[in-house]
Structure 1
Amino acid sequence: MLGIAPFALVAGIAAVDAGLGLAEAVGMSVIVFAGASQLAALELLGENAPLAVVVGTAAVINLRMLMYSASIAPHFADYGRRLRAGLAYLLTDQAYALSVAEFDENPERSRWRYYLGAAASLWIVWQVGTVAGVVLGANVPDAWGLTFAVPLVFLAL
Structure 2
Amino acid sequence: EDEEGAEKEPCSALENSDQEVIVEALKSICNILLHNETAQVRAAELQLIKGVAERLKQCYDPTWGYEVHFFDLRLTFLLTALRLDVRAQLAQELHGIRLLGNQLDATLGLCWPETLETARAGFEGTPPEELPPLSREQTELAVEILKILFNITFNTNKCKVG
* TM-score under structure 1 length normalisation: 0.31
Q: Which has the higher helix share?
A: 1
* TM-score under structure 2 length normalisation: 0.30
- Greater relative contact order (CA < 8 Å, ≥ 6 in sequence): 1
Largest Rg, 1 or 2: 2
Q: Which has the higher strand share?
A: 2
